[in-house]
Amino acid sequence: MSEGVEWAVHCCLTLAWLGDERPVPAARLAAGYELPTAYLNKQLQALVRAGVLESVAGAKGGFRLARPLEKITLMDVVAAVEGPEDAFQCQEIRRRGMGAGAPEGRYRAPCAVSTAMRRAELAWRRALAAQTLAEIQAAAERQAPDLGRGVRRWYGQDG
Amino acid sequence: MSEGVEWAVHCCLTLAWLGDERPVPAARLAAGYELPTAYLNKQLQALVRAGVLESVAGAKGGFRLARPLEKITLMDVVAAVEGPEDAFQCQEIRRRGMGAGAPEGRYRAPCAVSTAMRRAELAWRRALAAQTLAEIQAAAERQAPDLGRGVRRWYGQDG
């Protein structure tokens, strides 16, 4: 899995702490975590395509949340950044070699290996979909109640 | 995830269908699914290190199951082939940029993003560990009851 997932989740949390009055440019979000702007921008665009973020054009443009953290699950972010494909990609090797001469219809049902692997990926996806970014934000704030204030101060929205 | 997981599971099933009288060389297992021998051999060695397969040296050597399919889970195979690391690797970006000046102790607890991602990977691992290769073999045989006979015929152990 790419580092993009970690970046994307943290950026969503940052945007939530900043509120949605002012969109934040990719370069500012990147600076907040010392990330490469161009590569982060790719992830942010993916989040826009997934409807997680909104992109605002223009000199004062940037990114903001398209919906509240309560309505964004980890699954939304992982699917946006990593794509919808399963990690396990069945190559149907059962059809090769000794399986090549099998009768028509032998391969109508999905491979039992693939089915078992997909079952596990479904469990993973369900666990991702069961967790919202709001819950992650709440957990982070339980560890450090002044996190949001720190973010706003760093972005110059405080004081 | 690499193709090696699919290869490894199929090879374990093949070895189970062949029984453990005669070890099977990597080249023969590779031919059974038209796989590259050298790369498959790497996966088979990983399964040996994990205690899933046994390797027998010598002219009549090769691989056989180290234990029955009932005692091999998908988790065993995936861990052997892919390694024990989580797919999500937390890079602790929370400590960078705006997080760099945080007070001592702020980062004692694991990052809430990482914790949430790990929760999902645990669900995946639990689902892998809950499925044995014996169950996958049984599912494959429900689709094609003569699978084992076909494998033995191809490997010249029948008739």
Q: Measured between alpha carbons, how far is B30 from B26 in angstroms, rounded to an integer?
A: 6
| Run of H or E including B143 | helix B133-143
Provide the pLDDT confidence category of residue A159 given band limits of 50, 70 and 90: very low
Q: Which of residues 63-102 of B touch A (CB under 8 A)?
A: 74, 87-91, 93-94, 96-99, 102
pLDDT for A158 equals: 65
DSSP B54: E
Report if residue A159 sits inside a domain: no
Residue-wise pLDDT tens digits, B89-103: 999 999 999 999 888
Q: Is the pLDDT of residue A144 over 80?
A: yes
Convert the pLDDT of each residue in B69-81 to its tens digit. 999 999 999 999 9
> Helix, strand, coil % (nearest 5) of chain A?
55, 5, 35
CA separation, residue A8 to residues A15, A87, A93, B103 (Å)? 11, 19, 36, 24
**What is the residue-averaged pLDDT of chain B?**
94
Mean pLDDT score, A32-60: 96
- Region for B83 from its dihedrals, namely left if φ exceeds 0, alpha if ψ lies in -120 to 50, beta otherwise: left
Mean pLDDT computed over every residue of chain A: 94
- Position A144 in a domain: yes
Q: Check pLDDT > 80 for residue A85.
A: yes
- The answer, for A57 touching chain B at a CB cutoff of 8 Å, is no
In this structure, what CATH number is given to the domain that contains residue A134?
1.10.10.10
Residue of B93, B128, B151 lying closest to A10 (CB–CB): B93
Amino acid A20: pLDDT: 74
The predicted model gives B40-49 an average pLDDT of 97
* ipTM for the assembly: 0.93
Question: pLDDT band for position B159 (50/70/90)?
Answer: very low
- The count of domains in chain B is 1
User: Is B159 a domain residue?
Assistant: no
- pLDDT over 90 for what percent of chain B? 87
Instruction: Band the pLDDT of B158: cuts 50, 70, 90.
Output: low
DSSP letter, residue A94 = G
Longest dimension (CA), chain B: 75
Yes or no: say if A75 and A81 are a contact pair by the CB < 8 Å rule. no
Question: By mean pLDDT, which of A125-129, B25-29, B70-74, B87-91 is the weakest?
Answer: B87-91
Q: What is the pLDDT of residue A143?
A: 92
Does residue B144 lie within any of the structural domains? yes
Residue numbers in A near B10 (CB within 8 A):
93-94, 113
Range of the domain at A76: 3-154
pLDDT at residue A11 tops 60 = yes
Q: Strand, coil or helix: what is A19?
A: coil
**Is A7 in Cβ contact with B144 (below 8 Å)?**
no
- Residue A157 corresponds to which tokens in the numbers above? 């929205």
**pTM, rounded to two decimals:** 0.93
Q: Is A21 among the domain residues?
A: yes
